[in-house]
């Protein structure tokens, strides 16, 4: 790796500065990659090999057993069903939560930017303030509220909480997107006799596909990676993958199966990583959109 020869257009010679630059970049890349590499090689080793303590060494014999165990046999307490339970729970939570929150975000953004009914500024201000407040202050009353609605410890309850806590960001994303669209478009449609919902479904929704993609990616990775809401609201049978993973790794009795733990960790990271790699620029746009929020 160190013998990389940069052949950029302008500097034809390899200057000291260039060597320093690439050395820095390569060392940084190694720092960022090392944890992932370590997990991967650990997951492919047998426990015997792990006990020898060479954490960064390549496996002597590549062994996929840990992956199999992680998926379908790892234990959480006395239950040994693997992370696939949590995986499917996460799917059941994330898919509807993303769909509903993005739809509501689009409706909110559209109503707030083109129609501005009475109180819209107040509502928008409330949402933005709400988005900054630590969840801890909402949790206990929300647990009681959901218990009264018989939604506590259910997938529907977690989905509802994700939708509610996602409102500030999705609303902001869509409002900013629609604000940039000329108002005349909406006015012209109104002159033609189209109503609130028809304009939304026939004009605004098709126009906002790029923002729908960005918001969906943002929400999907965020909800998949959530720990707190799943832990508090899902109940034993519906724990999302992140919570199940932590329970498997941090509460095991006896010797820890590090290889299984690392395989399980990778399995939990795989979905957001896949989204990151395959959506590329869209993910970046989502990150940037989330970052300008402050």
Partner 1 sequence: MQAKRRRPLAATFALLPTWIAAIFVYIGTMVWSVRLSFTDSTIFPSSNYVGFAQYAKLFRTSRWLASLENVLIFGVLYVAGCLALGFVLAAALDRKVRFESVFRTIFLYPYAMSFVVTGLIWQWMLNPTFGIQATVRALGWQSFVFDWIVNRDMAIYTVVFAGVWQGAGLVMVIALSGMRGIGEEQWKAAQIDGIPVWRIYTSIILPQLGPALAASGMLLSMGVIKTYDLIVAQTGGGPGYSTEVPAKFIMDNLFERQNLGLASAGATVLVLSVVMAVAPFRYALAMRARRRGAH
Subset of residues 181 to 200 that bind partner 1, contact rule: CB under 8 A: 190, 195-197
Dist. CA 287–CA 3, nearest whole Å: 34
Binds partner 1 (CB under 8 A): choice among 171, 208, 216, 219: 171
SS3 content of the chain, % helix, strand, coil (to 5): 70, 0, 25
C-beta closer to partner 1: residue 2 or 132: 132
Question: Does residue 153 interact with partner 1 by CB under 8 A?
Answer: no
Question: Does residue 149 interact with partner 1 by CB under 8 A?
Answer: no
Question: Does residue 35 interact with partner 1 by CB under 8 A?
Answer: yes
Beta bridge partners of 76: 79
Residue 134 has φ and ψ, to the nearest 5°, of: -60, 140
Residue 112 has φ and ψ, to the nearest 5°, of: -75, -30
Dist. CA 280–CA 2, nearest whole Å: 27
Q: Under the phi-then-psi rule, with left for phi > 0, alpha for psi from -120 to 50, and beta for the rest, what region is 282?
A: alpha
- Closest distance of CB 182 from partner 1, Å: 19
Question: Does residue 90 interact with partner 1 by CB under 8 A?
Answer: no
Cα–Cα–Cα angle for 243, 275, 262, nearest 5°?
45
Question: Does residue 1 interact with partner 1 by CB under 8 A?
Answer: no
Cβ contact 167:127 at 8 Å: yes
- Closest distance of CB 5 from partner 1, Å: 9
Question: Does residue 136 interact with partner 1 by CB under 8 A?
Answer: yes
C-beta closer to partner 1: residue 11 or 210: 11
Question: Does residue 132 interact with partner 1 by CB under 8 A?
Answer: yes
Question: Does residue 67 interact with partner 1 by CB under 8 A?
Answer: no
Question: Does residue 38 interact with partner 1 by CB under 8 A?
Answer: yes
Question: Does residue 254 interact with partner 1 by CB under 8 A?
Answer: no
Q: Considering only the stretches 31-39, 75-83, 151-159, 174-182, report the one whose residues sit in contact with partner 1 under the rule CB under 8 A.
A: 31-39
Residue 80 has φ and ψ, to the nearest 5°, of: -115, 75
Q: Considering only the stretches 65-73, 119-127, 176-184, 202-210, report the one whose residues sit in contact with partner 1 under the rule CB under 8 A.
A: 119-127
- Closest distance of CB 273 from partner 1, Å: 6
Tell me, residue by residue from 261 to 290, as one string, x for binding to partner 1 by CB under 8 A and - for no binding: xx--x--xx--xx-xxx-----xx--xx-x
Question: Does residue 201 interact with partner 1 by CB under 8 A?
Answer: no
Q: How many CB atoms lie within 10 A of CB 210?
A: 11
Question: Does residue 14 interact with partner 1 by CB under 8 A?
Answer: no
C-beta closer to partner 1: residue 25 or 188: 25
3-state secondary structure at position 76: strand
- Closest distance of CB 131 from partner 1, Å: 9
- Closest distance of CB 217 from partner 1, Å: 10
- Closest distance of CB 285 from partner 1, Å: 10
- Closest distance of CB 89 from partner 1, Å: 14
- Cα 155 to Cα 93, 97, 132, 282, distances in angstroms: 6, 10, 25, 28
Cβ contact 74:136 at 8 Å: no
* Alpha helices (runs of H) in 111-208, residue ranges in sequence order: 120-132, 136-148, 155-179, 183-191, 196-199, 205-207
Dist. CA 264–CA 245, nearest whole Å: 7
């Amino acid at each position: 790796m160190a013998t990389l020869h940069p052949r950029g257009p302008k500097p034809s010679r390899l200057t000291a500065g260039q060597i320093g630059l690439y050395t820095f970049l390569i060392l940084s890349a190694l720092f960022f990659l090392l944890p992932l590499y370590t997990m991967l090689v650990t997951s492919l080793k047998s426990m015997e090999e792990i006990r020898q303590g060479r954490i960064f060494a390549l496996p002597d014999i590549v062994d996929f057993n840990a992956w199999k165990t992680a998926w379908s046999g790892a234990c959480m307490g006395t239950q040994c069903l693997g992370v696939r339970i949590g995986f499917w729970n996460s799917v059941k939570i994330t898919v509807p939560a993303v769909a509903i929150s993005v739809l509501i975000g689009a409706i909110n953004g559209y109503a707030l930017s083109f129609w501005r009914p009475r109180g819209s500024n107040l509502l928008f201000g409330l949402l933005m303030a709400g988005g900054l407040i630590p969840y801890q202050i909402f949790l206990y009353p929300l647990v009681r509220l959901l218990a009264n609605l018989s939604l506590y410890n259910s997938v529907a309850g977690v989905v509802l909480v994700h939708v509610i806590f996602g409102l500030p960001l999705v609303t902001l994303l869509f409002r900013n997107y629609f604000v940039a669209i000329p108002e005349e478009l909406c006015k012209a449609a109104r002159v033609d006799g189209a109503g609130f919902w028809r304009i939304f479904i026939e004009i605004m929704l098709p126009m906002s596909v790029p923002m729908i993609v960005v918001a969906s990616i943002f929400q999907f990775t965020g909800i998949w990676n959530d720990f707190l809401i799943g832990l508090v609201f899902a109940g034993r049978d519906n724990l999302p993958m992140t919570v199940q993973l932590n329970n498997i790794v941090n509460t095991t009795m006896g010797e820890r199966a590090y290889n299984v733990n690392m395989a399980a960790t990778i399995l939990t990271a795989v979905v957001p990583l896949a989204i990151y790699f395959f959506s590329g620029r869209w993910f970046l746009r989502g990150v940037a959109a989330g970052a300008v929020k402050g």
